[in-house]
């Protein structure tokens, strides 16, 4: 019987390529391993089904949600394993020709209980010549999402969202005690900011943060940082997957959410103020 106060959670770390089917096979094998280790909630990275470089290559491979092979795949896997799955993100083709970077939460009976489209677009030029323009291909989401689970509210975010603290605060105030951050962080920004940003978001909200990530080299030579993390509401790193493909697990005591918020009750100390 599921305890509302204890959760064994897993974050999966993958190295996805430019073809959907092999990526799903990789993800499925890793989910089954995590479930064999007792995971009750399994979280996967951003772009779990497709890491392709360039707008044309992405648009040639993505599918509408209704025909995306990843949707029934994860629904069937949730039913097979009896596990909650946060799918990471699937690129879902939209009617306007753009793509939604969309995360799903699937219950153990296979029902999709939540969808979240990434709100903040990664449009940056990095030192060393790397350049990213997500808004050229993807349509940003417009709605924050907290989904009820047996362990309380699960807030959804995706990768670049982690730099926007107000989103995480809104999720916590809407009832989230757990927040997922599926990501495909670049190596330079990962080395500089990944751990500190995720720890800060956990501390600010008093939430457990589950951050599954891509790792290694991908199509077009893009590199991702890895280091999938599970972080406590006090900012402690409970699990770090390093740089390899695989999974890590942590046992989460959900009582720690209320405990952290009692010790630093900043969520109830908001004040209105005039801008500078």
Q: What is the pTM of this model?
A: 0.96
Residue with tokens 């909630």: 41
pLDDT in the model for residue 2: 64
Mind listing the pLDDT tens digit for each residue in 74-118?
Answer: 999 999 999 999 999 999 999 999 999 999 999 999 999 999 999
> SS in 3 state form for 102-153?
EEEEECCCCCEEEEEECCCCCEEECCCCCEEEHHHCECCCCCCCEEEECCEE
Enumerate the domain spans of the chain.
7-264
Q: Provide the token pair at 196.
A: 């500190």
Mind listing the pLDDT tens digit for each residue in 159-212?
Answer: 999 999 999 999 999 999 999 999 999 999 999 999 999 999 999 999 999 999
Bridge pairing between strands 229-231 and 112-117: unpaired
Determine which helix (DSSP H) or strand (DSSP E) holds 261, and give its type and residue range: helix 255-263
Q: Which of 46, 63, 134, 207 is catalytic?
A: 46
pLDDT confidence band for 133 (50 / 70 / 90): confident
Q: Which of 63, 92, 118, 256 is catalytic?
A: 118
pLDDT in the model for residue 51: 96
Q: Which of 43, 92, 159, 207 is catalytic?
A: 159
CB burial of 72-87 (b: ≥16 within 10 Å; e: otherwise) equals ebbbebbeebebbbbb
Determine which helix (DSSP H) or strand (DSSP E) holds 36, and give its type and residue range: helix 20-36
The CATH fold of domain 7-264? Nitrilase/N-carbamoyl-D-aminoacid amidohydrolase (3.60.110)
- 46 in catalytic set: yes
Mind listing the pLDDT tens digit for each residue in 28-77?
Answer: 999 999 999 999 999 999 999 999 988 999 999 999 999 999 999 999 99
């Amino acid at each position: 019987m599921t305890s509302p106060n204890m959760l064994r959670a897993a974050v999966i770390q993958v190295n996805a390529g430019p073809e959907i089917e092999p990526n799903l096979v990789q993800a499925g094998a890793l989910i089954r391993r995590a479930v064999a280790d007792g995971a009750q909630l399994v979280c996967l990275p951003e772009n779990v089904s497709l890491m392709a470089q360039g707008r044309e290559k992405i648009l040639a491979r993505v599918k509408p949600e209704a025909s995306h092979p990843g949707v029934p795949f994860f629904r069937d896997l949730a039913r097979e394993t009896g596990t909650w799955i946060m799918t990471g993100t699937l690129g879902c083709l939209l009617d306007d020709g753009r793509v939604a970077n969309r995360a799903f939460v699937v219950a153990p009976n296979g029902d999709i209980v939540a969808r979240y489209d990434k709100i903040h677009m990664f449009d940056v030029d990095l030192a060393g010549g790397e350049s990213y323009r997500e808004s050229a291909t993807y349509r940003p989401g417009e709605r924050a999402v907290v989904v009820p689970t047996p362990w309380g509210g699960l807030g959804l975010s995706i990768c670049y969202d982690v730099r926007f603290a107000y989103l995480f605060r809104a999720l916590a105030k809407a009832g989230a005690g757990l927040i997922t951050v599926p990501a495909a962080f670049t190596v330079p920004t990962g080395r500089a900011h990944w751990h500190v940003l995720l720890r800060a978001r956990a501390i600010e909200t008093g939430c457990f943060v589950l951050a599954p990530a891509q790792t290694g080299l991908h199509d077009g030579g893009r590199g991702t940082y890895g280091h999938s993390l599970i972080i406590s509401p006090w900012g402690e790193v409970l699990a770090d997957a390093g740089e390899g493909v695989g999974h890590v697990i942590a046992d989460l005591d959900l009582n720690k959410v209320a405990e952290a918020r009692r010790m630093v009750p900043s969520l109830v100390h908001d004040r209105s103020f005039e801008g500078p």
